[in-house]
Amino acid sequence: MAAANASARALRAAALSSPAAEFASFRLVIDCGASACDGERIYPVANLLRTDGQQQTLARLVGRLRCQVCGRPPVMVVLETGPEVATRGRMHRMSLRGPEILQPDRNW
């Protein structure tokens, strides 16, 4: 992946062009933006790879996402890694679609 001192936009582009299988241990937080759909949903990338196949880029995986309630594409997609809620540690988040969020440490 890209260097630690790269811009948020460069890191996003590098992540989206990478094979989705490289992010199998990460989660995607998605939101379609509709108030009737109850906000964010979290999906492990590994589960999405099981249904959509291993041989695709992260951009293609994100492009195929749809809300299970209303069928809209998400307006916000965040790639997230880090500890589960019950454990200690730092979570890292990067926006793939929507407002730019970048909270990596040096090992992102």
Whether 4 contacts 104, CB under 8 Å = yes
Assess if residue 24 is contained within a domain.
Answer: yes
pTM of the model: 0.76
pLDDT tens-digit profile of 46-105?
888 887 666 789 999 999 998 888 889 999 999 988 655 445 556 678 888 887 665 544
Assess if residue 3 is contained within a domain.
Answer: no
Assess if residue 17 is contained within a domain.
Answer: yes
- Average pLDDT of the chain, as a whole number: 79
CA distances from residue 68 to 37, 47, 55, 74 in whole angstroms, order as listed: 9, 15, 23, 10
Assess if residue 53 is contained within a domain.
Answer: yes
Assess if residue 84 is contained within a domain.
Answer: yes
Assess if residue 28 is contained within a domain.
Answer: yes
Assess if residue 92 is contained within a domain.
Answer: yes
pLDDT tens-digit profile of 84-101?
544 555 667 888 888 766
Looking at residue 79, what DSSP letter applies?
Answer: E
Domain count along the chain: 1
* Structural domain range at position 14: 8-97
